[in-house]
Amino acid sequence: MAVETTFEVFVQLLKEAIDDSTDLSDTMKVALKARADALTRTQLVKLSAGNVLSSTNVTVSVATDSMTVADGDSGHVIFDLMEFDTPVRIEGTHGEVGALVGHVGLGTNPPVDNSDMTLSYRLGSTGTFVAFRQTTVLPSVSEIQFRLDVAVQTGDHDIPQLHAVAEQL
């Protein structure tokens, strides 16, 4: 099988370095190569109170890792620009809103319903945000910024963390 991705090149070079080492026992080499084979190429991209760049009509608390939309308000959150050292593939197929829905931190209010959340993205820190849905596939991303819009809420509601899945190429 030909090496096709930077991740596969990394794993191959790591295993070759293990094989070439004269400081490791054969048992240790086998164990380390098994760990190299088990390296995951996926990582969760966490969208939470800790990486909010700006918000409108949303109270953000890093201390409680919560984001709250007040009764009668709609709101939006723009998250920090994320930069990847090597390009990644990001797909919206992993969650109902294009991302996996997590917990509300230490928030005490009910979570915003999935149907009241709309996730969008832009590649870089400028330009127009476009919808990020379950059908979205971004094949080679070096920079991405997400925005979450929340519909008008009846009663105070906490925005759950969202996790997009990035796969190293």
Longest CA span, the chain: 67
- Residue 49, exposed/middle/buried by CB under 10 A (0-12, 13-18, 19+)? buried
What pLDDT shows up at residue 38?
73
Parse the chain into domains and list their residue ranges: 6-37, 42-168
Whole-angstrom Cα distance, residue 111 to residue 65?
13
What pLDDT shows up at residue 10?
82
What pLDDT shows up at residue 45?
86
What pLDDT shows up at residue 157?
97
What pLDDT shows up at residue 2?
57
Q: Under CATH, which architecture does the 42-168 domain have?
A: Sandwich (2.60)
Which residue ranges in the chain fall short of pLDDT 50?
A: 1
Task: Kindly provide the residue ranges of all beta strands, DSSP E only, lying in 57-126, ordered along the sequence.
Answer: 59-61, 66-69, 75-79, 82-91, 100-101, 117-122
Whole-angstrom Cα distance, residue 1 to residue 81?
36
What pLDDT shows up at residue 136?
92
* Contact by Cβ (8 Å): 105, 49: yes
